[in-house]
Chains A and B, each alone.
Chain A
Amino acid sequence: MQKSLPRTALRAGIASMAVASLAACGTSSSDSGSEALESLGDTEGSVSILAWPGYVEDGTNDPAVDWVSSFEEATGCMVEAKTYGTSDEAYQLMQSGGYDVVAASGDLTLRLVAADLVSPVNTDLLESYEGIFGFLKDKEWNSVDGVAYGVPHGYGANLLMFNTEEVSPAPTSWDVVFDKASDYDGKVTAYDSPIYIADAAVYLMTHSPELGIENPYALDEDQFAAAVELLKTQKESVGEYWSDYLKEIQAFESGDSVVGTTWQVIQNSISTGTTDVVLPEEGATGWSDTWMIASETEAPNCAYAWLDHIASPEINATATAYFGEAPSSEAACDFRDDCEAYHAGDEEYASQIWYWTTPVSDCVDGREDVECVDYSEWTKAWQEIKG
């Protein structure tokens, strides 16, 4: 056969193409600091929202649960929502772009700010901001140097869920998933995220006081090693880890999981009636969430409109009640009858929940003499725990 197209030419072409595209990979993103909006204009017609499950309900899951339609009618902004299972997943989605608004927990917010993925929020443009509890404003997880990066949404604790038929008497301690986990061999579940290491640390605060853990997100080498060891023992009894809340609902309904960490919204969604939840005596980790606006948003006016809508007392009450968390304002309690159960506005109680925070090497409990284990080490340890 006659040789066409000299081979060397072809190879050279492919090689140069490869070089060109590699060079293109090298260009880094711009590092311009984003600014808060000065004033509002006309809405853009659509807004894309990234949030925890149960935060953006338009009636598809339950016709009675809908706070999106009223927003769409009032503002003309059509909502497109996506849910996520872990803060890490949300971070990755925010990096890929395409979302205007994000509901972020405390272990995500500062990472978003540091990566310039969200912009400061001009709270003067939001009517609902004034009524929000003072102890939720200007916190280290939603503000930087006094500049607000979002609007508080609600807060709550990670609860212990158990199958009422298999686990009796009803547990009052996390020991059913740690020291006594082998009683439920293969049917224990745990949250599949490095931040779950903090749950083990909360348990150790009570049960191994000699470790001297003051804050589950500020662990030095020894404390961290003890928490990891506890989780490695727990792993032997774990049936599966969950990050997809639908997977956990299904596992508890089928009886494949009988005890483990959960959210109130999961309990609300389980239809078999064989499960219950409890806030164990050791206390718990929890979340305090913030609505933030993406720095690259193309719909800033719709984004501000959403922040205002979701923070307004009635909507905030409906949304936080559905998820099973305390609302962000006193006025919201007028629309809920269970505010006391969630200790809404009770500063004392709120301070006992260990809100998710990104662990950094400067210990967040204020210790100066040791260096704490940072989040990248947490993620590595989490993979090791799972083996």
Chain B
Amino acid sequence: MTTHRVSAFLAPRRRLRLAGLLTAPVLWLGLVYVVALSALLVTAFWTVDELTGQVQIEWTTENVVEVVTEALYRTVTLRTLGIAALVTVIDVLIAVPVAFFMAKVAGPRLRHLLVIAVLAPLWASYLVKVYSWRALLSSDGIIEWVLSPFGLHTPGYGIIGVVLALSYLWLPYVIMPIYAGFDRVPDRLLEASADLGGRGWRTLTAVVLPMIRPAIIAGSIFAFSLSLGDYITTGIVGGTTQMLGNLVYTNVGAANNLPLAAAISLIPIGIILVYLAAVRRTGALRSL
């Protein structure tokens, strides 16, 4: 048997075994991540031919300077940050009680049903969900129909629409880690807190929240970073709103200015690095 011979050959050779195991993933990570990302970052320091839009390898800091100094990029960065932060807060506010109910209140049967219900939207395509929001938010959509008897109107396409759609899209990614976090909080700790006279609020702030904080941070990383890079949702329900992703997209697709697009993409990369560094200081990454 050849498999037998191979395993006999590999058995005493630990390093070879490890190399065989790691080569493919490291190559993949290296090529797709490190190399592609460095190629992107380097492009930011190149320039394009004005008429044909072809990338020319002439070193310049013009693109980066433009991104840093022009008011347009500041406005859009602040808007994007605001949207991402709002989406994160909304998702965490919804996810914490939902996850608590799933992990601590619901019986095993209901819990399984809820997990399925939370994960089910992930089976549908992203585009289908965003276009559903486009139909919902439309001026002849369901939201308008429900609200108009009360003299209210649909928010229509714009920043509010983007925040609603993104909050909906990323909610499962926030609920699941927080649910797992709650699951790790032993019931006996809640009982012990109650025995010692801790009421609901006290138990929540003194016992539960410190334990699930890393889980909340993990969830927030998903919602925040996914929102930061999004541009399709903005295009469909954002009306005239532009986010950083849209600027990158128009510079690749319409303006044909890859170096400028690369320079703009440095902004979200920078923001995420700062965010991760801040998270790392809290120690949350270690307990993930």
Q: Mark B46-61, 1 if CB is under 8 A from A, else 0.
A: 0000111110010000
Q: Chain A residues with Cβ under 8 A from B39's Cβ?
A: 21-22, 25
Contact assessment for B254 and A254 in the assembled complex, using a CB-CB cutoff below 8 Å: no
Binds B, one of A98-106, A119-127, A238-246: A238-246
Asked if A95 meets B35 with Cβ closer than 8 Å, knowing A14-B30, A17-B30, A387-B242, the reply is no
Within 8 Å of chain A (Cβ to Cβ): is B68? no
Contact assessment for A92 and B140 in the assembled complex, using a CB-CB cutoff below 8 Å: no
**Nearest chain A CB to B111 CB, angstrom units:** 38
Q: Mark A236-270, 1 if CB is under 8 A from B, else 0.
A: 00111100000100100011100000000000000
Q: Chain A residues with Cβ under 8 A from B139's Cβ?
A: 254-256
Q: Mark B1-39, 1 if CB is under 8 A from A, else 0.
A: 000000000000011001100100010001100110011
Q: Mark A350-387, 1 if CB is under 8 A from B, else 0.
A: 00000000101000000000000011100110111011
Task: Tell me the complex Cα distance, A258–B79, Å.
Answer: 28
**Nearest chain B CB to A87 CB, angstrom units:** 9
Residue in chain B with minimal CB distance to A241? B240
Q: Chain B residues with Cβ under 8 A from A95's Cβ?
A: 53-54, 256
Q: Chain B residues with Cβ under 8 A from A55's Cβ?
A: none
Q: Mark A65-97, 1 if CB is under 8 A from B, else 0.
A: 000000000000000000000101101100100
Within 8 Å of chain B (Cβ to Cβ): is A4? yes
Q: Mark A198-227, 1 if CB is under 8 A from B, else 0.
A: 000000000000000000000000000000
- In B238-277, the 8 Å CB interface with A consists of 238-240, 242, 247, 250, 252-257
Q: Chain B residues with Cβ under 8 A from A4's Cβ?
A: 14-15, 18-19
Contact assessment for A18 and B35 in the assembled complex, using a CB-CB cutoff below 8 Å: yes
Contact assessment for B75 and A239 in the assembled complex, using a CB-CB cutoff below 8 Å: no
Within 8 Å of chain A (Cβ to Cβ): is B172? no
Contact assessment for B253 and A115 in the assembled complex, using a CB-CB cutoff below 8 Å: no
Task: Tell me the complex Cα distance, A28–B54, Å.
Answer: 9
Task: Tell me the complex Cα distance, A383–B141, Å.
Answer: 30
Q: Mark A6-29, 1 if CB is under 8 A from B, else 0.
A: 000010011001100110011011
Among A2, A239, A358, contact of B239 (Cβ-Cβ < 8 Å): A239
Task: Tell me the complex Cα distance, A16–B253, Å.
Answer: 32
Task: Tell me the complex Cα distance, A316–B90, Å.
Answer: 55
Asked if A92 meets B240 with Cβ closer than 8 Å, knowing A115-B53, A379-B257, the reply is no
Q: How many residues of B contact A (CB 8 A)?
A: 42
- In B54-79, the 8 Å CB interface with A consists of 54, 57, 72, 75-76
Q: Chain B residues with Cβ under 8 A from A309's Cβ?
A: none
Q: Chain A residues with Cβ under 8 A from B257's Cβ?
A: 376, 379
Task: Tell me the complex Cα distance, A188–B194, Å.
Answer: 60
**Nearest chain A CB to B208 CB, angstrom units:** 35
Task: Tell me the complex Cα distance, A88–B31, Å.
Answer: 30
Contact assessment for A115 and B54 in the assembled complex, using a CB-CB cutoff below 8 Å: yes
Among A92, A238, A387, contact of B256 (Cβ-Cβ < 8 Å): A92
Q: Chain A residues with Cβ under 8 A from B72's Cβ?
A: 383-384, 387
Q: Chain A residues with Cβ under 8 A from B242's Cβ?
A: 383, 386-387
Q: Chain A residues with Cβ under 8 A from B141's Cβ?
A: 254
Which 5 residue pairs spanning A and B have beta carbons closest together? A115-B52, A88-B254, A379-B255, A240-B239, A254-B138
A residues whose Cβ falls under 8 Å from a Cβ of B: 2, 4-5, 10, 13-14, 17-18, 21-22, 25-26, 28-29, 86, 88-89, 91-92, 95, 110-111, 114-115, 186, 193-194, 235, 238-241, 247, 250, 254-256, 358, 360, 374-376, 379-380, 382-384, 386-387
Given contacts A254-B141, A387-B242, 8 further A-B contacts (CB under 8 A): A14-B34, A18-B30, A18-B35, A22-B35, A92-B254, A194-B255, A235-B240, A374-B50
